[in-house]
Structure 1
Amino acid sequence: MNHINQKMVRVDTLLTGALVPLGPRNVPSGIIKTPVDGPTFLGSEGLVTDRQGDLKNHGGPEKAVHHYSIDHYATWSQEIGTREMLTRAGAFGENFSSAGLNERDIAIGDVFGVGGAIVEVSQGRLPCWKLNQRFDVPDMALRVQASGRTGWYYRVLQPGKIAPGDGLVPLDRARPDWTIERLHRLFYIDPFNPDELAEAAALTPLAEGWRKCAQRRLETRRVEDWAPRLTGASS
């Protein structure tokens, strides 16, 4: 067993969100998260009190929990200016907020125990246009994508009750070489690396959508159109 980090990392803040209208089009969204005070149940598709407005692109078993490092907040404040929402966890629609863990530390297939649940890292976040509305920054989704400060998602291997302050206990590492940082580099910086794409396409713990994307790039030598996701515009 290869532990990720010998120091104790905790889920300092646990967050969920109700559906609320977002932006000038009043699109239903659960991106605005608020802290959960006590124990709550984590099921196969996420926290029981969490909601998503677009079930095609958000939530589900492969995106059950979004984890984001509170350590990134200071950098964002420097880059986009002071925002009241950056004074506390939840600005990026995350469910887990913690310090001391980031995209360089976390790898696809990492397994953690948290409270009574067990979770596994499934993919990085694909930032969407709702971040533009959330921050009132027209290119915020693109900025998050370009920065690599995306956070990551878990699938739930064992449902159970969890609570704020629970330790994130490393249990196993399937592919410590495939960090979220490396995945980001392949998909957005070096998108036609054939060896890396072939390896990603065969990376079993990686969410199916990402593996299929890697395989398509190998076959077509084309990068998918990011505009609909990043801007909300039609393709």
Structure 2
Amino acid sequence: MKIISTNIGERKEVISHGKKVVTGIFKYPVDGPIFLDFEEVKGDEVSDKKYHGGIEQAVYGYSLKHYEYWRPLYPALDWTLGMFGENLTIDVLDETQIHVGDTFKVGNTILEATLQRSPCHKLGIRFKDMKIVKQFWNTTKCGVYFKVLQTGCITIGDDFQQIKSCSDNPTIADLLIKKKKEKGI
């Protein structure tokens, strides 16, 4: 696996359903390395720290391969990497094969898979269509949150190399399915 794009976003205020919403979901590719710290990607906006960021969700990765699934469903969008709010766009990231605790070396960082992305209305804001939220729940293309075990910089082209497997643990897709059932979706 390889890093295809590194993405960060700024604080943005938008109006959704008549209410002002502050979000950091509008992430865009950056040139040069980004620094992954223990609780965040330096320079990246995390507006709702109750549900995003922090030790267990310091970095969000999403698969470039998943873009092939979504693009035909939203052909009118101006597609760019970072569309899903991910910090790392990775060529192939399969949530059905990545287990909680799996560990990866990327650049001079070490990342551990921790959680699934549970979609919220801010994804709908980014896509200009709230139906994406339900569609997202109905796939296993949720992306992966990572804990940063070793801080450092990463850049486009870095290998995303698995160094530890925890195959006895649930997969990231399993977590999404469990969360969906808990929410009654």
Q: Distance in 2 between matches of 1:74 and 1:89?
A: 12
Give the residue type in structure 2 aligned to 1:124: Q
Q: Which has the larger Rg?
A: 1
How far the C-alpha of 1:30 sits from its partner, in A, is 0.7
- In the alignment, the residues of structure 2 paired with residue 104 and residue 225 of structure 1 have an alpha-carbon distance, to the nearest angstrom, of 21
Contact 1:110 1:176 in 2 (8 A): no
Is the CA contact (8 Å cut-off) linking 1:108 and 1:176 kept in structure 2?
Answer: no
> Which has the larger share of helix?
1
* TM-score normalized by the length of structure 2: 0.90
* Partner in structure 2 of residue 142 of structure 1: 134
Q: SS state of the match for residue 153, structure 1?
A: strand
Which amino acid in 1 is paired with 2:78?
A: M
Paired residue type of 2:109 = A
Number of aligned positions between the proteins: 183
Query: Which residue identity is paired with 2:74?
Result: G
List runs of 5+ in structure 2 lacking aligned partners: none
Unpaired runs of at least 5, structure 1: 1-8, 192-222, 227-235
Q: As a proportion of its length, which structure holds more strand?
A: 2
Give 1:119's aligned residue: 111
Is 2:38 aligned against 1:44? yes
TM-score (norm 1): 0.72
Q: Percent identity?
A: 33
- In 2, distance between residues paired with 1:70 and 1:99? 5
Q: CA deviation at 1:168?
A: 0.7
Q: Deviations over 1:67-100 (max 9, x none)?
A: 111111121123x2303333x3111100110222
Provide Cα deviations, 1:81-129, integer angstroms capped at 9, x if missing partner: 303333x311110011022222122111110011111110001011111
Aligned pairs for 1:2-21 (under 5 A) are: 9-21=1-13
* Secondary structure, counterpart of 2:126 in structure 1: helix
Superposition RMSD on alpha carbons, in Å? Answer: 1.8
Contact 1:152 1:180 in 2 (8 A): yes
